[in-house]
């Protein structure tokens, strides 16, 4: 049995292709092209006809003159590996390109720190009365309270539920309040 007949036994003739009117990228996704490609690879013994590689094979048009009618003109197609195919088209193969340099990590956003706010003057004992506004200053950027802040305000750990709102109207040392502001992480130490 001749090679051509044996080939046709496993790969019977296909119907005519979608024709040259279809965009090329879509054409390469058609079942017709998949079968044409299969014919070309089988005819070449599943080897690149340039370098004899068996990896990443593709069917390559020598000319696009018979696009859509490749089965009638199989000699217009050859089997090439991806490397030879990209060299043929003037595109460097991935291994030939210079290695990509790793991108440097993005810098972490710096904390915005504010200058100390104007604080009320302390009484004769060095204490101030806490208001809602003053306590809001003690919150972190995310709105929480750190344990060191709570300790600076005179609280014991574990904290009781609702302790923060109960602090309104309490007296604390001005120096302790400044320390609580520093522990919030929002203010520059001056």
**Which single residue is written with the structure tokens 């090439």?**
80
Q: Rounded CA gap, 48 and 54, in Å? A: 6
In terms of pTM, does the model score above 0.85?
no
Distances (CA, A) of 121 to 29, 125, 166: 78, 11, 22
Closest CA to 173 of 137, 131, 123: 123
**Which single residue is written with the structure tokens 């006809």?**
49
Q: Rounded CA gap, 124 and 8, in Å? A: 107
Q: What is the pLDDT of residue 45?
A: 92
Q: What is the pLDDT of residue 99?
A: 57
What's the DSSP call for residue 15?
P
Q: What is the pLDDT of residue 14?
A: 47
Per-10-residue mean pLDDT, the chain, length 190:
54 55 80 86 90 89 81 85 84 58 72 73 89 87 84 84 86 88 74
Q: Strands 77-81 and 127-129, how do they pair?
A: unpaired
């Amino acid at each position: 049995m001749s090679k051509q007949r044996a080939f046709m036994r496993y790969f019977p003739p296909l119907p005519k292709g979608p024709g040259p009117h279809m965009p090329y990228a879509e054409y390469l996704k058609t079942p017709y092209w998949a079968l044409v490609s299969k014919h070309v690879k089988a005819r070449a013994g599943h080897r690149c006809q340039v370098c004899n590689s068996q990896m990443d094979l593709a069917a390559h048009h020598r000319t696009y003159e018979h696009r859509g009618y490749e089965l009638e003109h199989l000699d217009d197609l050859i089997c090439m590996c991806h490397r030879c195919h990209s060299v043929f088209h003037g595109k460097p193969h991935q291994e030939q390109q210079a290695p990509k340099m790793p991108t440097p990590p993005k810098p972490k956003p710096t904390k915005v720190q504010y200058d100390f706010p104007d604080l009320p003057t302390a009484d004769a004992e060095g204490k101030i009365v806490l208001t809602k506004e003053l306590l809001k200053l003690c919150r972190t950027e995310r709105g929480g309270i750190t344990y060191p802040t709570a300790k600076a305000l005179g609280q014991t750990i574990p904290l009781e539920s609702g302790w923060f709102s109960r602090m309104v109207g309490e007296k604390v040392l001005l120096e302790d309040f400044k320390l609580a502001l520093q522990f919030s992480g929002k203010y520059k130490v001056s």
